[in-house]
Amino acid sequence: MAEEEAGGLVFHPMDQFVIKPLFGEGPVNWYTPTNATLWMALAALAITALLVFGTRGRAIVPNRVQSIAELLYGMVHKMVEDVTGKDGLKYFPYVMTLFCFILFANFLGLLPKSFSPTSHIAVTAVLAVLVFAGVTVLGFVKNGAHFLGLFWVSSAPLALRPVLAVIELISYFVRPVSHSIRLAGNIMAGHAVIKVFAAFAAVAAIAPVSVVAITAMYGLEVLVCLIQAYVFTILTCVYLKDALHPAH
Amino acid sequence: MENLGQLGQYLGAGLACVGMAGAAMGVGNVAGNYLAGALRNPSAAASQTATLFIGMAFAEALGIFSFLVALLLLFAV
């Protein structure tokens, strides 16, 4: 991806996504602690710090940290209740875990010199496939063969239903693909754009423009990190609703 | 001949990005219509933000497929 130009501009926008072993050099095996492992562990630690130690006081009138934790909990709880209904609340802990992990991994990835695990399709694909497999199994366990009613649109004319069934089937199996690549693509593209603007800062004439552009993009990225975590979670809720109430 | 294949790969990857224009129009359409509706009936706007994001996510998914095609052309062919 490196490209040397006449003006001395050097672009390495994709170098930040390279997975390296934490200690020394060498091949990356499945058990090797890497920078991805480190930042995922830091995300888990930050969540623990906020939700476990932040609410340790159990104060009636919460302090700042506790009210942030309560706000987060309340927001996800309301989202699950609004989208999936009361019977979806049983699966609230999993949705909350997903939201917290993605949000914190995204935000920690915004720190300079850090690494965002959610920019890798491998990481988001695991999250999305777990949701997909879990929701499919849940749908069959809860509804039995009625779950297939999801693909048989009973409100459509009879002649159209087989065609719609094929389309519904394709769109069902494409879910984990779009679910995972949406998150990874947004985070990866945002970070790469910031790096490209950073490379322009090497030229003195356009350096001020570059700094302003990086600041603006950074602000946008903070928003994108929150929105993508929210979108991933709300789509999980939608899929969960489809599994619990498959009727069209 | 090898270079010609590589040329086609890069051209195809670049052309696949045109698909993002469609996603851009779709997402803009969702947001614009939401705003138009929200300005007519602001009291109902807050309850529809979840629908807004779901609609945006579905419109965006097709743009993601063009991104996926570009990635596949660059790294998987």
* CB-based contact, A230 to chain B, within 8 Å: yes
A3 in contact with B, Cβ within 8 Å: no
Q: Whole-angstrom Cα distance, residue A227 to residue A245? A: 26
What's the pTM value of the predicted model, to 2 decimals?
Answer: 0.86
Number of domains, chain B:
1
- Nearest chain A residue to B64 by CA: give it: A182
Residue A3: predicted pLDDT? 42
> What digits encode the pLDDT tens for the residues A54-75?
888 888 888 888 999 999 999 9
Domain that holds residue B57: 2-75
Instruction: Measure the CA–CA gap between A97 and B48, rounded to whole angstroms.
Output: 24
Quick one: pLDDT band at residue A2, thresholds 50, 70, 90?
very low
Containing domain of residue A189, as a range? 11-20+34-244
A244 touches chain B (CB under 8 A): no
Q: Find the CATH number of the domain harbouring B54.
A: 1.20.20.10
DSSP lists the bridge partners of residue A4 as A10
Collect all residues of chain A within an 8 Å Cβ-Cβ radius of residue B56. 231
Query: In this predicted model, what pLDDT tens digit does every residue of A218-246 receive, in sequence order?
Result: 999 999 999 999 999 999 999 999 999 88
| DSSP one-letter code for B41 | -
Chain B partners of A174 at a C-beta cutoff of 8 Å?
61
Number of structural domains (chain A) is 1
- Please state, in angstroms and rounded to a whole number, the distance separating the CA atoms of residues A196 and A10: 9
Q: Looking at the partner chain, which of B54, B56, B61 has a beta carbon nearest the beta carbon of A238? A: B54
How many residue contacts between A and B have a Cβ separation below 8 Å?
A: 29
Best CA proximity match to A236, nearest among A180, A191, A194, A187: A180
> pLDDT class for A4, splitting at 50, 70, 90?
very low
Scanning A137-196 for CB atoms below 8 A from B yields 174, 177-178, 181-182, 185
Residue A2 within any structural domain of the chain: no
- Which pLDDT band, with edges at 50, 70 and 90, does B1 fall under? low
Q: What is the 3-state secondary structure (H, E, C) of chain A?
A: CCEECCCCCEECCCHHHCCCECCCCCCCCCCCCEHHHHHHHHHHHHHHHHHHHCCCCCCCCCCHHHHHHHHHHHHHHHHHHHHHCHHHHHHHHHHHHHHHHHHHHHHHHCCCCCCCHHHCHHHHHHHHHHHHHHHHHHHHHHHHHHHHHHCCCCCCCCCCHHHHHHHHHHHHHHHHHHHHHHHHHHHHHHHHHHHHHHHHCCCHHHHHHHHHHHHHHHHHHHHHHHHHHHHHHHHHHHHHHHHHCCCC
> Nearest residue of A to residue B67 by CA position?
A185
- For residue A1, what pLDDT band results from cuts at 50, 70 and 90? very low
Which of B27, B30, B67 should one mutate to test binding to chain A, selecting the residue with the greatest count of A CBs within 10 A?
B67
Asked if residue A52 belongs to a domain, the reply is: yes
Contact in structure between A246 and A143 (CB atoms under 8 Å): yes
Chain A residue closest to B62 (CA)?
A178
Q: CA of B71 to nearest chain A CA: how many angstroms apart?
A: 10
Query: Are A231 and B56 within 8 A, CB to CB?
Result: yes
Q: Which of A222, A211, A235 is nearest to B50 (CA)?
A: A235
- Is A25 a member of any domain? no
**pLDDT classification of A8: cutoffs 50, 70, 90:** low
Residue B53 is nearest to which of A177, A181, A230, comparing CB atoms?
A: A230
Q: What pLDDT, in 10s, does the model give residues A153-201?
A: 888 888 888 999 999 999 999 999 999 999 998 999 889 888 888 888 8
Computed over every residue of chain A, the mean pLDDT equals 88
Residues of B in contact with A240 (CB under 8 A): none
Alpha-carbon span A12 to A9, nearest angstrom: 10
- Tell me the pLDDT tens digit for each residue of A118-149: 999 999 999 999 999 999 999 999 988 888 88
- pLDDT exceeding 90 applies to what percent of chain B? 40
Residue A6 maps to a domain: no
Query: Do the chains contact at B57 and A177, CB–CB below 8 Å?
Result: no
Q: How many CB atoms lie within 10 A of CB A143?
A: 17
- Lowest mean pLDDT of A44-53, B43-52, B68-77, name the range: B68-77
Rounded to two decimals, the ipTM of the complex is: 0.77
